A = this chain, B = another copy of it.
Amino acid sequence: MGVVEYLYGPGVEETLDFVVRQVVQSPEKRVLMVLGSCQVRYQGRARSFLDWGERILIVKEDGTSIIHQPSGREPVNWQPHGARATYLLQDRLFTVHVVHRKNRERMAVSFKKIEMVFAARMDDRARVQIVGMERDIVDKIMENPELIEPGLRITQREKKTRSGLIDLFGYDRHHVPVVIEVKRSQATISAAQQLRMYVTDLKRGNDKARIRGILCTPRIPEMVCRLLDDYGLEYREFGWQHQLFDDQQTSLEDY
């Protein structure tokens, strides 16, 4: 990080001065972090109030603002990118107003005590590379349709229907049309319905036509299974962990 400026245990005036100098008036974008005791109000899609407590506030370069409590993955309050933060003293509290004009939302964070504040220019041009998403599973099936069943031919990917995009479309060994819907994690009721709708759509104007629907997913709850049955649809167990590579178990044991 090119520059990291910070204050340890500053007063509210000192904090405001620091933020104005290091973030607001800085020629380069900076990420701001504040640790301290604060209260949070939010108004927008909903409305919320969070009483005093010790938290971490981060205001990012793109306006994203998040407030983290000492536990939990999700920020307790936030504004997404595109928001704008302004800083001021209000009733002897260091207050950050984060306004998202486009979304018509705003959040106000008021600190009565600041343990630490710091501003950093962060250089990060890397983007995370992920393997194991739905796209990868679809790729794998395209490549080798026999993974689903012998004789299966895939002819289209992301085939359009009136009700959305079909993941995979093709014909089985008896030339019966097959619709395949892929889910990377446990099958849901909604996935079953989605598949059903695709099949129904394709049958339009030819109601007695035989069209198979297959839901490919690593796991399926009882209820979803019943639903598929009711709709005359099928299910294939298909998890990327077994298909894409199978070294997960051993390497996890290392710890």
Contact = CB atoms under 8 A, between A and B. Distances in A.
Q: Is the interface of A mostly helix, strand, loop or mixed?
A: mixed
Interface of A: 1, 4, 6, 8-9, 29, 31, 33, 35-37, 40, 43-56, 58, 60-62, 64, 66, 68-73, 75-78, 80-81, 86, 97, 99, 101, 104-106, 115-116, 118, 120, 122-133, 163-164, 184-185, 189-190, 193-194, 197, 223, 227, 240, 248-249, 251-252, 255
B43 A128 contact: no
Contacts of A197: 193
Q: How many copies does the complex hold?
A: 2
Given A1-B35, A248-B43, A56 B53 contact: no
Given A66-B68, A99-B252, 15 more contacts: A4-B35, A33-B56, A43-B248, A46-B131, A46-B184, A48-B128, A50-B126, A50-B127, A60-B68, A61-B70, A64-B72, A70-B124, A73-B75, A73-B80, A104-B252
A109 to B, nearest CB: 12
Nearest to A104: B252
Q: Which of A36, A122, A185, A193 has the most CB of B within 10 A?
A: A122
16 contacts: A4-B35, A4-B115, A45-B132, A45-B184, A46-B240, A47-B131, A47-B132, A50-B129, A53-B122, A60-B72, A66-B73, A69-B124, A71-B81, A104-B249, A190-B193, A193-B193
